[in-house]
Amino acid sequence: MTYPERGTDARLMFEARSLTKIYQMGEVEVQALRGVDLDLYAGEFVVLLGPSGSGKSTLLNILGGLDTPTGGTVRYDGHDLILDDDASMTQYRRTHVGFVFQFYNLIPSLTARENVALVTEIAENPMTPEEALALVGLVPRLDHFPTQMSGGEQQRVAIARAVAKRPQVLLCDEPTGALDAETGVMVLDVLARVNRELGTTTVVITHNAVIAAMADRVVYFGDGQVVRVACNADKKSAMELHW
Amino acid sequence: MIIMRAIDRKLMRDLWQMKSQAVAIALVVMCGVGTYVMFLTAQHSMRTTQDIYYRDYRFAQVFAQLKRAPESLRGRIQSVAGVDQVETRVTAQVRLDMPDFAEPVSALMVSVSESGRMGLNALHLREGRQPSRADEVVVSTPFAQAHALQPGDSFDAILNGRRQKLTLVGTALSPEFIQQMRPGSAFPDYKRYGVMWMGQQALGNAYDMQGAFNDLALSLRAGADAESVIDRIDELLKPYGGLGAYDRRDQRSNRFLNQELNQLGTLASLFPILFMGIAAFLLNVVIGRMVAMQREQIATLKAFGYGNLEVLWHYLKMVSVITGLGVVSGTVLGVWLAIKLSSIYMEIYHFPYLKFTLQPGTVLDAAAISLLAAGAGTVLAVWRAASLRPAEAMRPEMPARFHETGLEKLGIKRWLSQPARMIVRNIRRHALKSLLSMLGIAMACGIILTGLFQRDTVGYMVNVHFGMAQREDISVTFTDPTAYRARFDLQSLPGVRHVEVFRVVPVRLRHGHLSYRTGIRGVEPGGDIQRLLDTDLRQVDMPEEGLLLTDFLARLLDVKVGDRVLVEILEGSRPVREATVTGLVREYTGVSSYMNLETLNRFMHEGPTLSGAYLSVDSGQLQQLYVRLKGMPRIAGVAERVQEIRNFNRMMNETMLFFTYVATVFSIIIAFGVIYNSARIALTERGRELASLRVLGFTRTEISYILLGELGILTLLAIPLGLWLGEWMCYYIAHSMQTDLFRVPVVLMPRTYAFAALVVLVSAVVSGLAVRRRLDQLDLIAVLKTAE
């Protein structure tokens, strides 16, 4: 099965082949991925769309080095990812990948600036926390603690934290899942800007089909497999989305 | 301004967030470290003081008493291989008539050179000067204090039957008499017994010892073999009525002091191990669970590229701050307590000075033990959290596999409400965690007993020793073995209702290669005042033949009933005999052996002879009796039982009460620290679940019941376990503290158990209330909004 692809001139960022993943959930086995092949290109904005439990998060976690597949391989930027070596995966996450989670996962005891600094302090060529927070429009909130901010603001801090290290890849797992539509749009706008201005390959997981409209490509997921891939001929800006 | 890394800020803020828990943990560490530093520092300081005191004042290494030998023997003693300095002296037990004191007082009079030369066993003069004239004496400082004597004061003494006025010219301390106890008594009584020093010439004249001596002290050359010197000295002194030379080890004051310091040493090794061990265990468990709760944050840090070692280091720093807080405060507290404890010992022993030294090693060890324990808990917990793939760690923990518990299967289920089932299943599901919590609470409960049992025990010992065994009102000892008719003289004194006599003979008992220097006490069968008790505390009848041994002595000599022991008598013609051990008696103090009086007299080839007597007296006529006893020159000393009990209690109180107090306070703190932390951790671990229940419509009381019910059940289970563990710890302590001076039986009064249980219960209730307050503030909305 071949998928429509973006221009062949683009650099191949991820090459996933025959990925499988089986979880042991208590006494039941859950097959989360059933042989996924997927290519992702530098600089593209990809939306992974599918119902809950379809395996999107599992794929994202494996691509980001947060989880190991039961079978299959992942190539990143021309190199095989050694997925079961903790040290090399730590290094990989530290330098190349930025994460945004549904529930933000901010460190509650640190301010916005400090949450970003947590990452910039260990990165090689980071922005300053102030720059990163300016990028998401949160300069007035620099010294606020997570509990003093709204959900949207917290998610923007999480995005600032994810992009501050200038990662090649930004992986977002349901970034708007805990937000109302208006705030969600704002967060998506920030993601689009980061993708546009920094050229960061951005993968967004959602089960909200509306969001697919702003992607370069949409990967449809179902039952642990890629069902189909669609290219958006004319993609919309985040601000044009409604749900 | 120093720029702090974000991750270190997280550290500071997290610490501040959990400050009450951190303080509770630090307190536990503080108690462990405090005990450790206190005992080891006090013990080391006392040992150092003892060593330096002995060295500076040239405490002799070999001692001997004899009947009378000419000074000319000195040269031959000096030439014995290994002998360095020789000090020949005259000593005598004298009776004193203190003007301020109705009861008879006795003293050991020791000669010192009139020239002011200080040889072995030099005096540390606290006041005044050495005696130079015949009627001058220096008295031991504690005796002078007990009688408020000052240089220039005078009192009468009976020297060799002659009354003489003595003038006090100084007070002094001596390394030879750190413990001053009347022969036959286990406790000092400075009002009734003292040591004093008199010019050699003067004392020699009074006791017909011109140019002669009856007491010998030696120091040895480096590397000399004390045993062979002793054998040689025994040979030399044999013709002169030598009573057997002995090593410094057997010197009375030194032996008592060593035993006390050894006991302190035992406590110094037991209590810190116990307290540090328990503190370390708790630290390990608490820290482990605390870190485990940070699972999600650990995963987030990892997701952003923090490595396992960086994460570990982060938590190690956090734990080190808490532990460090405990170590520092524990050290400060420990040093302060060590100073207190040392000053108590200084007061008991009247050392001339205290060499207080805090060894850096002690503090480092305590710090290392604490940090290692905390570190191990952290490493384990961080590793467990960090070894998960971050994706997995961020997911809510798998619903645990629950089962119906055996208890429920037994059919109790239908009586258990749904919340009660949650409690039971949770304990069952987290069996290890529950077990560790329970064990922690139990140990905290147990160590409370270790602090308190000594008080119960002392009361019991007094009861047995003075209530069941030594029931006399007054005991009288003669200056020399005395003919049996002295019994009738005593019987005829005013107020005397009943007299029981005894004979004491110094002996060395041998069994195989084991030997022990003690005394055989000859007693009359059927005695009612002095009763011998068997190991079940039933009265033992004195058999016609054979020897009864204190059970502790039997163990020292590895002797069973029916075995034969060799008896070397260290008096008179020093015969060596064999005797069969016909029974064991239980005594908590001293190491005595007993024989039928007549048999002992026969054993000694002597007619009916006595060393002293026990009197039962009409208390109304006590003062008259004292007046008469004071007038009887052959009576060396009189001891009143009430006074002995007081002395016993005082000695126990001075030392033991301090330990008891410190141990009790520390164990209470530990108990509270543990229970509070268990409750707080349980709250954090179960917060979401409980908040979800609130969302479902459970009331605050209902969720409190679920959380605190678990704590309550664990506490209630922990108490009996803790009391049982505590008993074992007490047995272990008592066993380790056995000396020939006294054995501590383990006696625990019901009120002591009750107290320990109460402390744990109160800690649980207070912790429960603290947690309950936090339960009331659970954020319900957050539960609905966020994932684990």
**3-state SS string over chain A?**
CCCCCCCCCCCEEEEEEEEEEEEEECCEEEEEEEEEEEEEECCCEEEEECCCCCCHHHHHHHHCCCCCCCEEEEEECCEECCCCCHHHHHHHHHHHEEEECCCCCCCCCCCHHHHHHHHHCCCCCCCCHHHHHHHCCCHHHCCCCHHHCCHHHHHHHHHHHHHCCCCCEEEEECCCCCCCHHHHHHHHHHHHHHHHHHCCEEEEEECCHHHHHHCCEEEEEECCEEEEEEECCCCCCHHHCCC
> Could you tell me whether strands B193-199 and B105-112 are parallel, antiparallel, or unpaired per DSSP bridges?
parallel
User: How many helices and strands (H and E) does chain B possess?
Assistant: 23, 22
Q: How confident is the model at residue A85 (pLDDT cuts 50, 70, 90)?
A: confident
Give the tens place of pLDDT for each residue, B625-677. 888 887 787 777 777 878 778 877 777 777 777 877 888 888 888 888 888 88
Looking at residue B137, its pLDDT comes to 93
pLDDT greater than 70 at residue B613? yes
**Residue range A36-40: average pLDDT?**
93
**Distance (Å, whole) CA A119 – CA B766:** 41
- Residue to mutate among B304, B306, B308, B389, with most A CBs inside 10 A, is B304
Mean pLDDT, chain A, whole residue set: 87
**Amino acid letter, B714:** L
Taking the Cβ of residue A128 and every Cβ of chain B, the question of whether any pair is shorter than 8 Å is answered with no
The reply to whether residue B10 touches residue A102, judged by beta carbons under 8 angstroms, is: no
- Any idea of the CA torsion for B439, B444, B447, B451, to the nearest 10 degrees? -170
Give the tens place of pLDDT for each residue, A186-213. 889 989 998 998 899 999 999 888 999 9
**Residue range B482-510: average pLDDT?**
89
The reply to whether residue B303 touches residue A121, judged by beta carbons under 8 angstroms, is: no
A110 → closest Cβ in B10, B307, B389: B10
B303 → closest Cβ in A57, A93, A165: A93
Looking at residue B99, its pLDDT comes to 82
Chain B: nearest CA to A66, how far in angstroms? 5
Chain B: nearest CA to A5, how far in angstroms? 29
Taking the Cβ of residue A118 and every Cβ of chain B, the question of whether any pair is shorter than 8 Å is answered with yes
Looking at residue B396, its pLDDT comes to 59
Give the tens place of pLDDT for each residue, B299-325. 888 888 888 888 888 888 888 998 999
Q: Do residues B580 and B568 lie in contact, with contact meaning Cβ atoms separated by under 8 Å?
A: no
Crossing angle of the two packed helices B431-462 and B418-429, in degrees rounded to 10: 90
Of how many residues is chain B composed? 788
Looking at residue B87, its pLDDT comes to 92
Nearest to B430 by CA among B240, B606, B686, B638: B686
pLDDT greater than 50 at residue A160? yes
Looking at residue B136, its pLDDT comes to 92
* Residues on chain B touching A115 (C-beta within 8 angstroms): 6
Q: Do residues B388 and B299 lie in contact, with contact meaning Cβ atoms separated by under 8 Å?
A: yes
Token pair listed for A41: 């290109």
**Distance (Å, whole) CA B688 – CA B778:** 9
Looking at residue B755, its pLDDT comes to 92
**Amino acid letter, A177:** G
Taking the Cβ of residue A131 and every Cβ of chain B, the question of whether any pair is shorter than 8 Å is answered with no
* Residues on chain B touching A123 (C-beta within 8 angstroms): 305
**pLDDT: is B183 or B169 the higher one?**
B169
Looking at residue A2, its pLDDT comes to 39
**Distance (Å, whole) CA B288 – CA B596:** 66
DSSP string, B28-82: HHHHHHHHHHHHHHHHHHHHHHHHHHHHHTT--SEEEEEEEEETTHHHHHHTSTT
**Residue range B754-769: average pLDDT?**
90
**Residue range B196-213: average pLDDT?**
91
pLDDT over 90 percentage in chain B: 22
Looking at residue A7, its pLDDT comes to 47
Taking the Cβ of residue A25 and every Cβ of chain B, the question of whether any pair is shorter than 8 Å is answered with yes
Looking at residue A6, its pLDDT comes to 47
Give the tens place of pLDDT for each residue, B390-407. 777 776 555 556 666 666
Looking at residue B627, its pLDDT comes to 82
**Residue range B447-456: average pLDDT?**
83
* Residues on chain A touching B389 (C-beta within 8 angstroms): 61, 66-68
* Residues on chain B touching A119 (C-beta within 8 angstroms): 304-305
**Distance (Å, whole) CA B717 – CA B713:** 6
The reply to whether residue A27 touches residue B401, judged by beta carbons under 8 angstroms, is: yes
pLDDT greater than 50 at residue A1? no
Report the predicted TM-score, pTM, of the whole model to 2 decimal places: 0.77
Looking at residue B634, its pLDDT comes to 78
Chain A: nearest CA to B27, how far in angstroms? 25
Residues 6+ apart with CB under 8 A from B405: B424, B425, B428
Q: How confident is the model at residue B413 (pLDDT cuts 50, 70, 90)?
A: low
Of A167-171, B255-259, B684-688, the one with minimum mean pLDDT is B684-688
CA distances from B230 to B19, B217, B319 (A): 65, 11, 59
Looking at residue B197, its pLDDT comes to 94
Q: Do residues A96 and A169 lie in contact, with contact meaning Cβ atoms separated by under 8 Å?
A: yes
Q: Is ipTM beyond 0.85?
A: no
Q: How confident is the model at residue B410 (pLDDT cuts 50, 70, 90)?
A: low
Mean pLDDT, chain B, whole residue set: 84
Looking at residue B184, its pLDDT comes to 64
pLDDT greater than 70 at residue B550? yes
pLDDT over 70 percentage in chain A: 96
Using CA coordinates, name the residue in chain B closest to A96.
B305
Chain A: nearest CA to B383, how far in angstroms? 12
B307 → closest Cβ in A90, A95, A116: A90
Rama region for B512: left / alpha / beta (φ>0; ψ in -120 to 50; rest) = left
pLDDT greater than 90 at residue B472? no
Looking at residue B397, its pLDDT comes to 59
A68 → closest Cβ in B9, B389, B399: B389
Q: How confident is the model at residue B787 (pLDDT cuts 50, 70, 90)?
A: very low
Torsion sign (Cα): B663, B667, B669, B670: positive
Residues 6+ apart with CB under 8 A from B451: B659, B660, B661, B662, B663, B664, B666, B667
Taking the Cβ of residue A168 and every Cβ of chain B, the question of whether any pair is shorter than 8 Å is answered with no
pLDDT greater than 90 at residue B183? no
Token pair listed for B778: 């659970």
The reply to whether residue A90 touches residue B296, judged by beta carbons under 8 angstroms, is: no
**pLDDT: is B402 or B763 the higher one?**
B763
pLDDT greater than 50 at residue B788? no
Of B412-421, B614-623, B761-770, the one with minimum mean pLDDT is B412-421
Taking the Cβ of residue A102 and every Cβ of chain B, the question of whether any pair is shorter than 8 Å is answered with yes
**Residue range B744-757: average pLDDT?**
89
Using CA coordinates, name the residue in chain A closest to B399.
A26
**Distance (Å, whole) CA B511 – CA B578:** 10
Looking at residue B187, its pLDDT comes to 73
Q: In what order do the strands lie in the sheet with A201-206?
A: A97-100, A169-173, A201-206, A45-49, A217-222, A225-231
